Chains A and B, each alone.
Chain A
């Protein structure tokens, strides 16, 4: 089955990004496809390559990057939300791309299920 995931909150502030990641990983382990993860609102902060958590904490950004590389997950950051918050190509982490809200609608039309994680 083809899953789309929406992440509405930033990393480390809210559990949404952790829940979304663990859901995505479990879906892939069960043989499903995670076709796209769309980062919206403060969720765009998940894509900042300037992120440096303490060494004993999970690296939320790198975790998404690794998932994208290993399983061809399309990580899309909403352009309007990103520009408002200072996320641009120059500080975009590996595996993410910036695009429009149409990509969210497309995830809704193309995926069998769309699961949202937010506040």
Chain B
């Protein structure tokens, strides 16, 4: 699938996984958007950083553990993953707690990046 227009799509993830479906659905749209050959960025901020926490075990809640999918994103040429530094800090997390390599940005850097986008979808 290809589309003549290439736009910069940013997916802003601000919600924790499992409590609501948004994190999972965001991943679905991200994969489809990449399949349409668009320029894709993912942002994780506020409770959204919990989506990337290592060691998720969902057997006890009888829900699919979709966290391995974040590691598979690279295979779809989705490599722009940005995490808000302050969101990690106030949650007692560091980059070592995350299951994928990300770029950790300050709030100001994140804001500047948002301004460069053509389409911003929030989950």
Binding site for B on A (CB under 8 A): 6, 40-41, 80-81, 100-102, 104-106, 108-110, 114, 116, 118
Q: Is the pair B29, A105 in contact by a Cβ cutoff of 8 Å?
A: yes
Q: List B contacts of A104 (CB < 8 A).
A: 29, 32
A14 to chain B, nearest CB (A): 12
| In the complex, chain B residues 34-84 whose Cβ is within 8 Å of any chain A Cβ | 35-36, 38
Q: Binding site of B, secondary structure by majority: helix, strand, loop or mixed?
A: mixed
In the bound complex, what is the Cα–Cα distance between A33 and B1 (angstroms)? Answer: 26
B5 to chain A, nearest CB (A): 5
Q: Is the pair B29, A41 in contact by a Cβ cutoff of 8 Å?
A: no
| In the complex, chain B residues 1-31 whose Cβ is within 8 Å of any chain A Cβ | 1, 3, 5, 7, 9, 21-22, 25, 28-29
Q: List A contacts of B25 (CB < 8 A).
A: 40-41, 81
In the bound complex, what is the Cα–Cα distance between A101 and B36 (angstroms)? Answer: 11
Q: List A contacts of B103 (CB < 8 A).
A: none
**CB-defined A-B contacts under 8 Å, sample of 12:** A41-B22, A102-B1, A104-B29, A104-B32, A105-B38, A106-B36, A108-B9, A108-B33, A108-B118, A109-B5, A109-B36, A109-B119
Known contacts A101-B28, A109-B38: A6-B121 contact under CB 8 Å: yes
In the bound complex, what is the Cα–Cα distance between A101 and B9 (angstroms)? Answer: 14
In the bound complex, what is the Cα–Cα distance between A40 and B24 (angstroms)? Answer: 12
In the bound complex, what is the Cα–Cα distance between A6 and B11 (angstroms)? Answer: 14
**Would you call B122 an interface residue if the criterion is a C-beta within 8 Å of the partner chain's C-beta atoms?**
yes
